[in-house]
Structure 1
Amino acid sequence: MSRPPLILLAHPQRAHSRINAEMAQAAQAAGFNVRDLYALYPDYLIDVPAEQSALAAADLVVWLHPIHWYGMPPLMKLWLDEVFSFGWAYGPGGQALQGKHLWLATTTGGPESSYAPGGYNRHFFDAFLPPYEQTAALAGMQFLPPLVLHGAHRAPADAVQAHVDVWVQRLQTWPDWPELADIDTPLCEVPADARPQE
């Protein structure tokens, strides 16, 4: 039986968030564990053992954050740098996350039409996902198809509610997602001499 998901919320301005905050509240109301990184670490001093312990207790890890300059917000990146450590998350002996699922739930300011060759972001949204996919692969995790709401600033209330409903429904039905059978993430072996000894 799968253990409950771990949801990591990383929104630098949660008080001004329309959608990420509502998604976090809906997940909490449904009984899921949400760790608000900006509330936990306003000084950016991350408790790595506590975060690794939380990860160890989950089979599904969810990153809930808005897209900032085509990637994750700064505290989420620092969290990743420090928590997914060499010898723990990857590299020799780094098997703590192998077999877990990683799911990105995110929002963009730009509309979906801006994420296309003719739009001002010049690429489809999937073009910005390889760092997430490779992070999962390096840690031996399966990267699940992300949940994305484009144009978050201007999304009408009914679209936001529909998105939140899908979000909660997906959390409640994981791991019974039909698309999981088609996901195959390669295992990336990092040799022992890939990094100098410290």
Structure 2
Amino acid sequence: MVKSMTRSVYVQMVGSQWVRQILESFRNYQMPGVGGPAKMIAVFWDDLKLSNGGRVYTWHDQIEKKFYVEWSEVRTYQNNSLETFQAVLYDPSYYITPTGDGEILLQYKEFNNTSYGSYSWDQIHGNYCSVGIEDHTMTRGLQYTFNDTYHDAAMELSDETAVLITTRGSDMRLEGDLNYDEVIDIYDLMLLVDFNLGYKGDR
């Protein structure tokens, strides 16, 4: 999760981004772990390349309070498979979670997990792609997939899929249901007004 205040990220071609650290790592590993950089969001951590019009874009949507990083029509180094995916970082001061962590949305328009890591030389690396996050200590994190293996409860990634990384539990509420009563009514409006005015008392 994005908990500490950060003003910059480093985006790399391998489909990862790091928060305030510059360290290249084209070889992907399990997460969390000491392989690769700390404070990492691995959207599609694999050996990728820009060719045939592939691009990496960033955009800060100041109105919606989101920061986008998109890898558009990039290709895997091993099999030249097309990939288009993005990470969306939600501003934790605007999108409030129980822990104060920022939510991260990973979206996949074209997902081709084809790099098994066997090249013409003896060393085998790659292990398909890694998807997940890890903190600055490299000891805490969330691995969604590594080596084309998923947890039993996880959906396998494919075209037009997305993963929301959040500290909210299964009680994800209706948009606008600020008091968690499963009804959008005047009480939600009152909470919103109080929040915007900075009111801290109980009603």
TM-score (norm. length: structure 2): 0.29
- Tell me: higher relative CO, structure 1 or 2? Use CA pairs within 8 A at least 6 residues apart: 1
